[in-house]
Structure formats: structure tokens, C-alpha cells
Chains A and B, each alone.
Chain A
């Protein structure tokens, strides 16, 4: 039995409106360490709301959320930011790389707000860049990279803070099918190595590769497929 990385207990998010919008209805959800979960649902179903709550980018209007063993409902914004920086790695659809910084500098941003010395951040960044196979492009600017390479840089940055969970928002949304396949394989291999991954996607093929599938519809989360070995 592994430790839960994410525990949602009756977590809800309602936007006040008017009229009030129940973006996420009271939800119970547990993500264990080593899980690879795909969150699937149509646009406006509440996927992104769920991901924002899981990543501490937004606060729930109800329920309690324990991330990496830490109850979050009473944390100050500064504490939330600290927990977010240390426990969550984000991978975005549009990569969110700083275009004027090199690959190494982009990845070394992780840990910046965790008071880590630059030398340590650079060493970690180089290690993560090596893991995603981009060492030859260490000094390249993002503009000179392909979409797949950019996403790998983003993944390296997400891993560099050594997070408890990787939250991915449509990680293949801006990639062609071949590059998407590469990223999926990368996620699978990462998961096999022990990384916990929660991934929001529209891509059914990608969702099928995940070990768990969570369907979101009208703010309700359903466990469509339990974890498989």
C-alpha cells in the first residue's frame, strides 16, 4: 500500500456569479504515489478547475485537500506557494518556456523560489535535461526547438523541483501525432520509474495509456477505470 499523494474530501469549487457556477461539485479523490491518472471530459466539464485545485493554483470553496501529506485549507498564500513549488510539477499545453532564456536556464527556474543556490539548480537542471535526452540542446533557445523538444524541456523543468506529483494540462495538445506519441512514451517510462502523474487530456488514445481514468462531466468526477497493474 503506497502513500496517497493527493486526497480530496468533498472538495468543491463554486464561482459566485451571478448566477453561481458549480465548476466542481463535492468530490472525493485519492491519487496514490506512482499513479498515472488521465482526467478526461468535454470542454467546460471542470477538468481545468480540478487541475487548478490539485496544483494549488486555486482554492476550493468547500471540502478539504491534503497534498503530499499536508492539509492545505488553512495555509497562507505564501505557504501554498511554497508547497506548490516543492510538491507539484506542471506541464502545460503551451509549454510556458521563457523564450529569451536557454534550455538550461528555463529548467533551472525550478527551485528558484525554494531558496536553492543557483549552482544546485543548474546541476539539477542538467540532470533532468539529460533524463529527457536534450543534453545536446542545453544552450539552445526555445525558439530553435521543435514542439516535442519544447515539451520535453517543460517536463524537465517540472521534474527539476523533485515534486511529489506531475500535473499535466493537455501535454500533447500542441503536438502532432508523432510527437504526441513520444511524449506519451516518455510519461509511461517516467511512471514506470515511479513518478506520479495526473494528466488532463482530450486525447482518448493518450487517456487509454494511463493506468487510471477519471471522467469529468458537469463538475462531477467519476472513476471510469481503476488503476491497473
Chain B
């Protein structure tokens, strides 16, 4: 190779050379940032591998919160439908005076009074009863009467169903609860208003009493009172406590066995959107003179219930995401520390060119922060994609808090900053002469 013309012009600045003075070295922020970006960009594969942990952590963070929000939206919409169509009325007077069993505030025709209200689909009262055995001898009156499929008087009275309970209900309550019949019918107004001795059995009660169908006109005995079974429940709907119940027409039940052991409830199923109005009207429809004795209980807030569940689940999953982020942090710290050792020669060169220790520290810290931020942004994108894919796969509507899209990169940035602190400090402490000896 032939050298170029080396007859150097005497540089003019050499004539004008002024003493350099003792001003400390300074670097422009933009240049410092450009140096950091260039250092990252010139090692793309290593940079990508370095941020993998942060990407996974941030992606998990966004995906968990996004999918939880999406699921919560879905669950809430389902429960809202149930919530919006269910009204429960409770005997407030009896509730306030539980020791006094003479108090019963519902009329005998709850369903008949509520059904005419515009928006009511089904309605009826239900309550549990304590049926005491007749006092044959003094001291026996407190015992619970036997419920059996055979009369007590024949001497073969079966103890079958000793754990069964007796409930007074209206057919409307069962319909409002979404119960379904396996066989027969449930009480209608005729049964209720004419005190027919009929019964409907819950699924467990029917199994316990050996009643499989109503076609054979089975009879059950509560103490010595017989009742013809006219219906068998397949499913108790929203009233699972009726599973082992022998249900009697409410007016007849009170007439024979007295007032309920616990305050009676009325269950009302309404049209969508009518529940709030019905809740206000129901106490007046049931007892115009003393509506205060009855209180329409707001339906349970299912969204709060699901929020609690989701909060617990979120805590667990976010813990896992935090672990992933910590792993990402350690990965960046480790890689940056190795890079400091590998780039000792570069550090020495920069110091030879006038870099102060703080310039070196800022350079490595900036690289680490950029890597963390990059990991956060990529993780955020991956997380959003996961939420969309997950929601679409279940035909749900994806729900994502917009703040999450800022929070994840911010988390990545913090991870990068924390991870870079120690390696950057180590880099800034390298003596220039020592650093220059390493290639």
C-alpha cells in the first residue's frame, strides 16, 4: 500500500494553541444517550437475550392483570344478570324479635299479591319449621317429630329421614329460585288456599325416603300427619338448603306447626331491570298497613365477591410476575457486570479521552435503563397480545387498563436502573491505567 502524501500542513490550531486550563470535562446529554444507544445497538443479540427476563416479567405482569380484568368483566356481566333479576324480602319484624315466635309478617298469599306487580315473573314465601312430636307424656314435647314414609302409629315407624327438615313454601318461591322438578308439580294457588295436605320433596329428602316418582301417589308422614307427595325436585336452584326438605304449602304448614323457627323470606324473580322498582313496591304489596315489617334485601353483590377472589388470585400471579421481574433484574445486572469486565479497555479509552468516573457510570446506567425500558415495552406488547389472544379464544371482550401500558415499561425502567447501579459503579471505579491494560 502506498502512503498518501504526508507533507503535513502545519495545523493552524497548533500555532494558536492555548493552555487547556483546569476546567472539568463535560459531555452533552444527547451525546451520552447516543453513546449508550450505540453500545446497545452494536450488540443486538446480546441485548435481546439480556432483556428476555424483563420481557417475560413485564409480559406476565400485563397478561395477568389484563386477563383478570377481562375475566372479571365477563363474570361481572353474568352475575349482574342474576343480580338484576333477584329480590329477596325478609320478615324484618321477626328478625328483630327472634325470641318471639308469634311474629309472622307475611300474608298467606304472598305469590298471589306479588305476581300482579308489573315486572314480577315468579314469587313466593319460604321458611323452615320445627315440628315437635306430640306430647304423649310430659317431658317429650320438645323432641323433633319423625319424618318417615310410614305412619308412626303402626309400630313400624321408620326413622328414615330423621335428619330431614320441614319447610313451608309457595310454588312461586321454587320457581323464582330456578328450581326444577324431576317429577310431578309444585304447589299452586289451589293447594295453598285450600290447605291441601300435599308435599314436595327435595332431591336428598326423596332419596332418603325412598320416593322415586309421584305416579304411585307416595305419602310421607311428619309425625302423624300424612302428606301426599305431588312433586320431586331435581335441582334446588338458588335455594340449596331445600335439598333435604319436605316442603309443605306455607299456610297449612303454619296452621299445623306454628310460625317459622327463623324469619321467613320471600323470593321474587323479576324481569331484567325491574328489580329495584319491585324491591321498593314489594313491602307495600304484601302489607299496606305495615310495610316497615318487611324489608326488601338488596341482592348479594357478586361483583364484590368475585373481586375478592380475583384479588387473591391476582396476588399469587403478580407474585410470580414479580419473581420473573427479579430474574430479569438479575439477568441485566449480571450481563452488565460481565460487560463492564469485557469493556474495561473501552472504559480506559474513554477515561483517556477525558471521561470522568461519573460519565462512565452514567453511560453504563443509561445502557441498563434503556435495556430495562426496552424489555418493559416489548413485555407490554407481548402481554397485550396474550390478553387479546386469550380473550378472543374464549369469545370474551378484552379489557385492559390503559395505565397498565405505561406501568409495565415503567417497571422495566426501574428494573434496568436497579440492575445497572452496581455494575455502573464498578465501571466508574476502574483506574484508567489498569483499564487500559485490558483489551
Q: B-contacting residues of A (Cβ < 8 Å)?
A: 33, 48, 52, 55, 57-58, 68-70, 75-79, 81-88, 90, 92, 94, 96, 98, 100-101, 105, 109-110, 112-115, 117-118, 131-133, 146, 148, 157, 161-162, 164, 182, 185-186, 189-190, 192-195
Given contacts A84-B354, A85-B353, 4 further A-B contacts (CB under 8 A): A81-B355, A100-B38, A118-B30, A133-B4
Which among A76, A96, A105, A113 is the interface contact of B354 at CB below 8 angstroms?
A: A113
Instruction: Name A195's closest neighbour in chain B (CB-CB).
Output: B14
**Total CB contacts across the A-B interface at under 8 A:** 151
Q: A-contacting residues of B (Cβ < 8 Å)?
A: 1, 3-11, 13-15, 17, 19-28, 30-31, 34-35, 38, 42-43, 345-346, 348-359, 431-433, 436, 439
- B348: A residues at CB distance < 8 A: 96
Shortest distance in angstroms between B402's beta carbon and chain A's nearest beta carbon?
A: 37
Q: A110 CA to B11 CA in the complex, in Å?
A: 17
Pairs A–B under 8 Å by Cβ, sample size 11: A33-B17, A55-B352, A57-B431, A57-B432, A69-B19, A98-B346, A113-B359, A186-B6, A189-B6, A192-B8, A194-B11
Interface pair A86/B436, CB less than 8 Å apart:
no
Shortest distance in angstroms between A144's beta carbon and chain B's nearest beta carbon?
A: 14
- A164: B residues at CB distance < 8 A: 17, 19-20
Interface pair B26/A94, CB less than 8 Å apart:
no
Shortest distance in angstroms between B86's beta carbon and chain A's nearest beta carbon?
A: 68
- B19: A residues at CB distance < 8 A: 68-70, 164
Shortest distance in angstroms between B359's beta carbon and chain A's nearest beta carbon?
A: 6
Instruction: Name A88's closest neighbour in chain B (CB-CB).
Output: B352
Shortest distance in angstroms between B430's beta carbon and chain A's nearest beta carbon?
A: 11
Interface pair A193/B357, CB less than 8 Å apart:
no
- A82: B residues at CB distance < 8 A: 20, 22-26, 354, 356
CB contact under 8 A between A113 and B356, given known A57-B351, A164-B17: yes
Instruction: Name B43's closest neighbour in chain A (CB-CB).
Output: A100
Interface pair B439/A94, CB less than 8 Å apart:
yes
Interface pair A110/B353, CB less than 8 Å apart:
yes
Interface pair B23/A79, CB less than 8 Å apart:
yes
Describe B's contact surface by its main secondary structure.
Answer: loop
- B355: A residues at CB distance < 8 A: 81, 85, 112-113
- B42: A residues at CB distance < 8 A: 100-101
Interface pair B8/A109, CB less than 8 Å apart:
no
CB contact under 8 A between A161 and B353, given known A57-B432, A69-B19, A79-B24: yes
Q: A157 CA to B354 CA in the complex, in Å?
A: 13
- B35: A residues at CB distance < 8 A: 112
Shortest distance in angstroms between A49's beta carbon and chain B's nearest beta carbon?
A: 9
Interface pair A90/B3, CB less than 8 Å apart:
no
Q: A69 CA to B35 CA in the complex, in Å?
A: 32
Which among A52, A57, A75 is the interface contact of B22 at CB below 8 angstroms?
A: A75
Q: A57 CA to B347 CA in the complex, in Å?
A: 12
Shortest distance in angstroms between B135's beta carbon and chain A's nearest beta carbon?
A: 101
Interface pair B25/A81, CB less than 8 Å apart:
yes
Instruction: Name A48's closest neighbour in chain B (CB-CB).
Output: B433
For the complex of A and B, the 6 pairs showing the least CB-CB separation, nearest first, are A85-B354, A133-B4, A100-B42, A78-B24, A113-B354, A69-B19
Interface pair A185/B353, CB less than 8 Å apart:
no
- B8: A residues at CB distance < 8 A: 131, 189-190, 192-193
